[in-house]
Every structure is written in C-alpha cells, then in structure tokens.
C-alpha cells in the first residue's frame, strides 16, 4: 500500500501495575524502534494529551523516535458537563492550547491531530445527529479545539474518527486532512462510506497488530497501524503559503448577566423538554440549551408567529416556544 504509520501511546510502552484498584501504565519503558522499522513503519503519530492530561508515554516516544515522520494527537475530551455553549467553546480552545504547548519543543513534521470518537457519555446517533444533544456538544468542543490549533499553528489539524461519526459531520470539518478508522482489508471510499471530505489521507486499517513484533514493551500486545494515502496533506510545510484559508464559523452565544429587576411574566414549563433558541424561529436559529418540566421562566416579551407563541427570556435574549396551536409548552403562572 505504500507508507505505513503507527499510532502510539503509553499503552504501547507502559508497565501495567495495579494501583488504587485499577491498572496503571505510568511506569514507562523504551520502545524498541528497531523492530518498528523492521516491520516497515516509517512514521508515527503519538498521543500527547487528553483534555488537561498529558499522556505518560508521550515525551519518551517523542524524544526517542528515529522515524522519518512524527506527529502527535490529542484525544478530544467532551465528557465534562458545561452549562453553556460559551463554556464548551472555552474548553475546546483550552485543549487546542494544551496540545500546542506540550508538543512545541519536538517540532513534529506531521500536523497535529484531533482524535474525535464516541464514548460512554454519547447518546446513540441513530442517524439523527441534529437531535442528538451530546453529538452537537461534542461537535462544538471539537470545532473550538480545531480553530484554536489553526490560530496557533497556521494549519488545520488532522481529524481522526470512524465512519459513524464522519458521515454526520458538517462542512466546518471538511477541509481538515482526514484520518479514518475502518479496520479491515478494503479501504473506505469517499462518497460511498463517508461524504463531505474529498478523500481520506490516512487509513487506520488495523487495531490489533502484534505488539511484540513492533517493539512494544512486554505485556502490551497490540499496536495500531495505518496506511498513508496523501502524505502531502499530512505534512507541516513552513514554506507553504496558505491562500484563502477556509472560513470556520462557530456560533458564539453571549450570555449577559441576568438583571435582578425588569418587567416580566412568570411561566412554568409543562413539557418534558423545551428548547432554547437564539431567534423566535426553528429554521435559521441556533439551539443553545434546554429547559425541563417544572422550570420557571421570566418572560419579558411575547411574540406570535404563525400558530406559535414565542417568549423571550428576561435579560438573555433567548427564545422558547410557549404554545403551538392548541399545544401548551409553558403556562402562565
């Protein structure tokens, strides 16, 4: 297939010890790079961070790798519960800053990457990403991390994900180099297995290669392997002039401090979930939060549009639908 990359972390060179009721890999050993090279690996992308956490194996791997191509990735952390879109964006930006700071001294020649995948906190997509709040939240945090790396490094990072996530991403991600995870013998096909991206640039084809053959520390029996399709898209090129860089727009919603005084009418939410939006319409507005049955509302303005009656929250400028036809979503107290 051509150029073979690995992707590595402390799970390849850490010593598994039982600590505080669980296994830890904090004791780090050397990678046998000669075995790596003997198996035809010429490049690697190493885990550098996960949120605020620095991978225990990163500095050992990054400082000793003799391979021709070296890069680093950050595992996107979107498990923290945030109370606003602004906080979500700040957390994504912080992760972008973290990976740039941690990797700076190694001057990797492969672009930084973001590992964006599902975890236990994610509701099933069920092919309806537009109604999946955890997916939309993860998207916002990932996009904020992506744009912060772009701001600091001058290039769009590589985006790692699987087919299930990739097929639901929007146009803000499509200019990133794509690192697709789809283990097997047949590579994924653009336009068939995923859409939006012109093609993949790196294909993770194996999660279970024999770690002993590739130089892992004993007891770490697996290594991930990848085939490179478009090396130029992965490389950092300081001499390259970026012309008309893609515009990425993050919907930022200001959250002013709610005043203690002002004229308002008091309502109570009567349905299980009531959406908050930036405008008194569904199409063309941004979903910025949710209210729940029993929540109290202070409505400073009511607007009737079609068969819907919208209420504006006091001091925030956000809107919710109070009534639609005969269906009442919030009642006047």
Give residue 39's pLDDT.
96
**Do 285 and 297 form a contact (C-beta atoms < 8 A)?**
no
The Cα angle at residue 212 between residues 211 and 214, in degrees rounded to 5: 65
Give residue 317's pLDDT.
77
- Per-residue pLDDT band for 258 (boundaries 50, 70, 90) equals very low
Distance CA 235, CA 173 (A): 18
Concatenate the DSSP letters of all residues of 133-191 into one string: HHHHHHHHHHHHHHHHHHHHHSSPPEEEEEHHHHTT--GGGTTS-EEEE--SSS---BT
Domains and CATH numbers, the chain: 4-234 (3.20.20.80), 265-332 (2.30.30)
- Quick check: 272 pLDDT over 90? no
- Quick check: 290 pLDDT over 90? no
- Quick check: 120 pLDDT over 70? no
Mean pLDDT of 197-219: 94
Give residue 248's pLDDT.
52
Judged by average pLDDT, the poorest of 36-45, 80-89, 168-177, 208-217 is 80-89
Mean pLDDT of 158-185: 92
Give residue 209's pLDDT.
95
Cβ-Cβ contacts under 8 Å for 250 (sequence gap 6 or more): 89, 140, 143, 144, 147, 172
Distance CA 18, CA 25 (A): 9
- Per-residue pLDDT band for 259 (boundaries 50, 70, 90) equals very low
Distance CA 23, CA 141 (A): 29
If you average pLDDT over every residue of the chain, what do you get? 86
Mean pLDDT of 230-259: 60
- Quick check: 252 pLDDT over 60? no
Mean pLDDT of 41-61: 96
Give residue 189's pLDDT.
94
Mean pLDDT of 32-56: 96
Give residue 179's pLDDT.
97
Mean pLDDT of 8-35: 84
Judged by average pLDDT, the poorest of 112-121, 177-186, 255-264 is 255-264
């Amino acid at each position: 297939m051509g150029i073979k990359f690995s992707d590595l972390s402390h799970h390849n060179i850490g010593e598994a010890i039982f600590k505080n009721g669980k296994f830890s890999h904090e004791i780090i050993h050397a990678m046998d790079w000669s075995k790596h090279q003997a198996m035809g690996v010429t490049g690697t992308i190493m885990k550098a961070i996960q949120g605020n956490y620095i991978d225990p194996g990163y500095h050992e791997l990054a400082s000793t790798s003799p391979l021709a191509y070296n890069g680093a990735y950050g595992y996107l952390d979107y498990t923290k519960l945030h109370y606003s879109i602004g906080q979500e964006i700040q957390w994504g930006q912080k992760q972008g800053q973290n990976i740039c700071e941690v990797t700076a001294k190694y001057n990797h020649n492969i672009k930084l990457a973001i590992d964006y995948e599902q975890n236990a906190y994610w509701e099933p997509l069920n092919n309806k990403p537009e109604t999946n709040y955890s997916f939309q939240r993860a998207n916002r945090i990932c996009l904020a991390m992506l744009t912060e790396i772009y701001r600091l490094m001058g290039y769009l990072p590589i985006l790692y994900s699987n087919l299930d996530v990739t097929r639901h991403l929007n146009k803000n991600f499509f200019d990133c180099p794509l690192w697709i995870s789809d283990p097997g013998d047949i590579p994924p096909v653009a336009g068939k297995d995923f859409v939006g991206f012109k093609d993949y640039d790196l294909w993770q084809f194996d999660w279970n290669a024999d770690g002993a053959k590739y130089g892992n520390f004993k007891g770490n029996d697996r290594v991930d392997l990848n085939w490179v399709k478009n090396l130029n898209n992965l490389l950092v090129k300081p001499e390259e002039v970026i012309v008309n860089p893609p515009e990425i727009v993050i919907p930022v919603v200001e959250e002013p401090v709610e005043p203690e005084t002002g004229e308002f009418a008091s309502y109570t939410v009567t349905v299980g979930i009531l959406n908050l939006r930036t405008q008194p319409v569904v199409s063309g507005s941004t979903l910025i939060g949710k209210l729940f049955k029993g929540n109290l509302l202070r409505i400073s303005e009511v607007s009737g549009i079609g068969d819907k009656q919208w209420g504006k929250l006091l001091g925030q400028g956000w809107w919710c639908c109070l009534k639609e036809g005969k269906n009442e979503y919030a009642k006047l107290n």
